[in-house]
Structure 1
Amino acid sequence: MKKFDFHTHTCCSKHWIWGVDGLSTPREIVETAISRGLDGVAVSDHNTTRGGLLAAKIARKIDKNFLVIPSIEVKSKSGDVLAIGVLEELTIKSRSLTAAEAVEQMREKGAVIIAPHPYGREGLGSLVEKLRFDALEGFNAHILSRYNRKAKELAKRLKLPMVASSDAHIAEEVANGITGLDINELSIDAVKDAIRREKTKIIQEKHTKSMGRIYSKKIGLLFHVTKRPPCDEI
């Protein structure tokens, strides 16, 4: 069984207050994921595939047996939509799409569509039941346990496969949520097919405990105390 973290952010994720929402470079995310025994990671920055595409280039240089899946977390008008496997350079204006439009546009690009943290901040809540998702995030390391339980119950009711994710915004959080995939070939197509065919298993749930430190660093960005990560370095 191959191990993946399907929801991570790099400093290519932008934020209207902090400037960057992720505090680690694509290289740091890749190196940490490899060091923690993962077989692959989806880099899913907010509204852009830039971080994922950079991470994929870096991974090919570091370890050809490690798979980076360029992805994107679209911030729609109603909440977040996670699209796994978007292989083109893409930037979307925040809140410019409805959730339904985000789902359909990402599906047209061949992505697997996941509902992340449905009961957490920026989650879609009951709207998940009205849209066509391929899977649901049954565990998100940033979300309270009771909301993750509700997410699992929703996935079971809708008969959707579940994934676990770290939602890492700094490299040390990578692998806090791990999904096992029953695949023989380590490729993006194999990963997407396994999710769609419900060949997933949640194998690690470790809640993130570093949120205070993350926000202190983000506040430091405002006052130029924290150094902005060099996001475009290969």
Structure 2
Amino acid sequence: MPVEFRADLHIHSCLSPCADLFMTPRNIVEKAASRGINIVAVCDHNSAENIAVTQEIGKKRGITVIPGMEITSSEEVHVLGFFENLERALDMQTVVYDHLQTGENDEDAFGMQVVVNEEDEVLGFNKRLLIGATDLSINRIIDLIHGFQGLAVASHIDREGFGIIGQLGFIPPDAGFDALEISSRTGFDAAAEKFSMYRAVPWITSSDAHQLEDIGRKTIGLYMNHASFEELGLVLAGADGRKVVP
């Protein structure tokens, strides 16, 4: 019988240039545990290089870490991808890197892109322009995520910047998203009134945390049999009593 797990499915690590340097995998897991969160997804901009270490730390603390990525489309829209395992996330990363805007990250302008180990020691700095966009369309990104057996979610649809409605003015009915994300800035009730035409697709809400204190600012309840990517997919499909609750 499904039971409730609390999840924050949109957290940036110190790999994202716009995230605080204290957003190390260890700190993320510890903060999530302290706030009663059972499941997290690390979704850095256009990269998955801090996922493996976060998963290892999560295992030791009883936190399920779902591999994720926030990909920027050619339309400047953010799309979240969730994956069954690290290998699938890295497969997606390879494609994203091949299509990412050329150039090196300017640390003074955008921030550092730090890859770390379990002890928060710096392993290196990603030099790619992770804050940039890919030349992949929204539809192509969704198709790629699904091709790697992942779940595609429209990021923060209520935000003007990098939200699909803010950029396009609407969500194409045939886009194929598995869920839509409401940001922490908008409550579910307000979103339900404003975006009622999009309720046919499941909604989630997440913190989109870039700082430690923001982790768990918004979470979602997932009624599932156990904490896993497979169960997340079944929740979004509403299978056998599984459901999403604010």
TM-score, normalising length: structure 2: 0.71
* Equivalent runs, 1:31-46 vs 2, <5 Å: 31-46=30-45
State the secondary structure of the residue aligned to 1:32: helix
Aligned residues: 192
Query: Deviation digits for residues 138-170 of structure 1, max 9, x if unmatched?
Result: x311459998456642431xx111111001011
Query: Deviation digits for residues 14-69 of structure 1, max 9, x if unmatched?
Result: xxxxxx12111121111111110011101111111122232112212x32x32000
Matched, 1:175 2:172: no
Matched, 1:135 2:135: no
Deviation for aligned residue 1:192: 2.3
| Residue in structure 2 matched with residue 73 of structure 1 by the alignment | 70
Matched, 1:54 2:97: no
| Residue in structure 1 matched with residue 134 of structure 2 by the alignment | 95
Which protein has greater RCO, CA pairs closer than 8 Å, 6+ apart? 2
| Residue in structure 1 matched with residue 162 of structure 2 by the alignment | 122
Deviation for aligned residue 1:201: 2.8
Greater alpha carbon shift after TM alignment, 66-75 vs 178-187: 178-187
Asked if the contact 2:222/2:235 (under 8 Å) is kept, the reply is: yes
User: Per the alignment, do residues 3 and 146 of structure 1 end up closer, same or farther by CA in structure 2, a change over 3 Å counting?
Assistant: closer
Greater alpha carbon shift after TM alignment, 173-182 vs 187-196: 187-196
CA distance in 2, matches of 1:52, 1:161: 25
Asked if the contact 1:155/1:162 (under 8 Å) is kept, the reply is: no
| Residue in structure 2 matched with residue 191 of structure 1 by the alignment | 232
CA distance in 1, matches of 2:203, 2:83: 17
Asked if the contact 2:221/2:244 (under 8 Å) is kept, the reply is: yes
Consecutive unaligned residues in structure 2, runs of 5 or more: 101-132
Runs of 4+ with >3 A deviation = 142-152
Q: Which amino acid aligns with 2:162?
A: E
CA distance in 1, matches of 2:185, 2:49: 23
Deviation for aligned residue 1:178: 1.0
Deviation for aligned residue 1:173: 0.5
Matched, 1:7 2:46: no
CA distance in 2, matches of 1:143, 1:129: 22
User: Per the alignment, do residues 37 and 47 of structure 1 end up closer, same or farther by CA in structure 2, a change over 3 Å counting?
Assistant: same
| Residue in structure 2 matched with residue 219 of structure 1 by the alignment | none
* Equivalent runs, 1:157-176 vs 2, <5 Å: 159-176=200-217
State the secondary structure of the residue aligned to 1:95: coil
CA distance in 2, matches of 1:144, 1:178: 11
Asked if the contact 1:135/1:196 (under 8 Å) is kept, the reply is: no
CA distance in 2, matches of 1:154, 1:84: 25
CA distance in 1, matches of 2:74, 2:193: 22
| Residue in structure 2 matched with residue 16 of structure 1 by the alignment | none
Identity between Structure 1 and Structure 2 (%): 27
CA distance in 1, matches of 2:243, 2:220: 7
Deviation for aligned residue 1:129: 2.8
Deviation for aligned residue 1:128: 4.2
What RMSD, in angstroms, separates the aligned Cα atoms of the two structures?
2.2
| Residue in structure 1 matched with residue 143 of structure 2 by the alignment | 104
